[in-house]
Amino acid sequence: MAGPLLRFASVPIATVLLFAPAVALAEMPEPVRAMIDAAIATGDKAKVATVVEIARQTNPDDAAEIDALHDAFLTDRKEAEALARAEEEEELRQASLLDNWSGKGEVGAFRSTGNNSNIGLSGAVELAREGIDWTHQLRLRADYQRSNGATTRERYFAAYEPRYQIDKGFFAYGLGQFESDRFQGYDARYAVSAGIGYRIIDESDLTLSAKLGPAYRFTEFTNGTSEGRIAALAGLDFDWAITDRVKLTQDSNVTSETGGTATAVVDSSNVSLNLLTGLQLKVSDKVSTRLSYQVDYESNPPAGTENTDTLSRFTLIYGF
């Protein structure tokens, strides 16, 4: 008699134990689920993580289901991000050489010392194209001034530099460059170079890269002579975003950036050194102002010219 009674009593007990977890999972409060769903709808990982953590602390019995919702969201986000990267990469691969260029135009005032001591105007254009492995950069700059009917400064500069990213750190570069500065003693100076570079620091707010390679330079002097020489080129490029957003006035948000470049070309008779340091303030998404200081040094300049020129610029920049 006892045996049948025990068997009969055990059935409902086992049934309750079997279905108890399912009942607990099904009883997640609707406001909690709605709160998690609303956070997931934003697509913000940090916001979802915060809401999920609060939900787990206030509803420990529903932790398994809450974690399942969170894991499903993370999986969907990972798949969506991978798909977006693949689409972006395919778009870059299919783009022609004329696509995906961005740039900025710059115009402003300058003050020079050295062979000249004047105040005048400066203009520049910089274009860049970034691909999967290749980047291209084109720079054009002109400084020109007339005082009392006479030209007192006339300098033109153009450079094209393609780069191939070998891996995360190393890259190969090429460089073609043209300069003209009668007040430094040459009508035209051409330089070509190719070599290897390395990204020493590559952070979101701080980058530092260096490059080194052989070069050939051909110079046409203002006295009618010319010369071509084998040389070596060394370059350094430094950029530092001091802060993301700095409020200067009630209506303007400003980002401060400082950066510098240094390029040295060395041959058997002359060393040319160019140093450029600047502070850039971003006024809006398109407009920035920039204060820069440039030093041009020639160890063996033509007769009658000084070996060091400096140039301070205050310019307005428009990005496009």
| CATH code for position 200 | 2.40.160.40
Residues 6+ apart with CB under 8 A from 3: none
Total structural domains within the chain: 2
315 in the same domain as 259 = yes
**C-alpha to C-alpha distance for 156 and 170, rounded to whole angstroms:** 31
What integer pLDDT is reported at residue 258 of this predicted model?
63
| Of 67, 94, 121, the domain-final residue | 94
Of the candidates 257, 211, 214, 215, the residue with the CA atom closest to the CA atom of residue 236: 211
Residue 35, token pair as written in the block: 């709160």
What integer pLDDT is reported at residue 203 of this predicted model?
86
308 in the same domain as 195 = yes
263 in the same domain as 172 = yes
Q: Which amino acid, 273?
A: L
308 in the same domain as 184 = yes
56 in the same domain as 118 = no
What integer pLDDT is reported at residue 11 of this predicted model?
45
Residue 69, token pair as written in the block: 């919702």
**C-alpha to C-alpha distance for 137 and 236, rounded to whole angstroms:** 16
Residue 32, token pair as written in the block: 């909690």
88 in the same domain as 165 = no
170 in the same domain as 315 = yes
Q: ∠95-98-101 over CA atoms, to 5°?
A: 90
What integer pLDDT is reported at residue 123 of this predicted model?
92
**C-alpha to C-alpha distance for 77 and 126, rounded to whole angstroms:** 36
Residues in the chain: 320
What integer pLDDT is reported at residue 246 of this predicted model?
42
274 in the same domain as 171 = yes
**Torsion on CA atoms 48, 52, 53, 56, rounded to nearest 10:** 180
Look up the domain containing 250 and give its range.
101-319
What integer pLDDT is reported at residue 257 of this predicted model?
52
**C-alpha to C-alpha distance for 185 and 161, rounded to whole angstroms:** 25
| Of 38, 72, 94, the domain-final residue | 94
> Per-10-residue mean pLDDT for the chain, 320 residues long?
44 43 59 90 90 90 88 89 78 73 87 75 91 90 82 91 93 96 92 95 87 94 93 90 52 53 85 89 84 89 86 87
218 in the same domain as 276 = yes
What integer pLDDT is reported at residue 245 of this predicted model?
47
Tell me the sheet residues that pair with 212: 196, 234
116 in the same domain as 85 = no
What integer pLDDT is reported at residue 15 of this predicted model?
44
CA-to-CA separations, 10 to 3, 15, 19, 194, 246, in angstroms, rounded? 11, 9, 14, 85, 71
Contact between residue 30 and residue 59 where contact means Cβ atoms under 8 Å apart: no
152 in the same domain as 75 = no
Is residue 42 classed as helix, strand or coil in its secondary structure?
helix
**C-alpha to C-alpha distance for 112 and 209, rounded to whole angstroms:** 29
113 in the same domain as 46 = no
What integer pLDDT is reported at residue 24 of this predicted model?
41
What integer pLDDT is reported at residue 97 of this predicted model?
67
| Of 94, 118, 146, the domain-final residue | 94
Q: CA neighbours within 13 Å on the CB side: how many for 88?
A: 10
Residue 121, token pair as written in the block: 């105007």
User: 3-state DSSP helix/strand/coil percent for the chain, to nearest 5?
Assistant: 30, 55, 20
